[in-house]
Amino acid sequence: MSEENKTLLRCYVAEVWYKRNLGALRELMSPALLDPADKEYVRGPAWVRRFHGAYREAFPDADVTVEDQLPLP
């Protein structure tokens, strides 16, 4: 994982999870974001916003901590 990607992930966690700033998704994510489970299916920031909202509704006290950032195989 490049240092740029590590920084991007830390910004995502800080802005979206800690500050609950869903507007930051437009700046942090590509409109052509691919679904990790299905590399053929495009899911952009709007999908992540809906997912994050549903997750927060189901688990309002959830917390995220980045402990390690490892390279992808």
Torsion of CA 21, 24, 25, 30, to 10 degrees: -170
pTM of full prediction above 0.75: no
Strand partners, 62: none
pLDDT of 69 reads 83
Is the Cβ–Cβ distance between 30 and 44 less than 8 Å?
yes
pLDDT score of 4: 86
At 30 the pLDDT is 83
Q: Which of 62, 60, 64, 58 is nearest to 15 (CA)?
A: 64
**Which pLDDT tens digit goes with each residue over 3-53?**
888 888 899 999 998 898 988 988 888 888 777 777 777 778 888 888 888
- Environment class of residue 51 by beta-carbon count within 10 Å: exposed (0-12), middle (13-18) or buried (19+)? exposed
Question: For residue 2, is pLDDT > 90?
Answer: no
pLDDT tier for residue 73 given thresholds of 50, 70 and 90: low
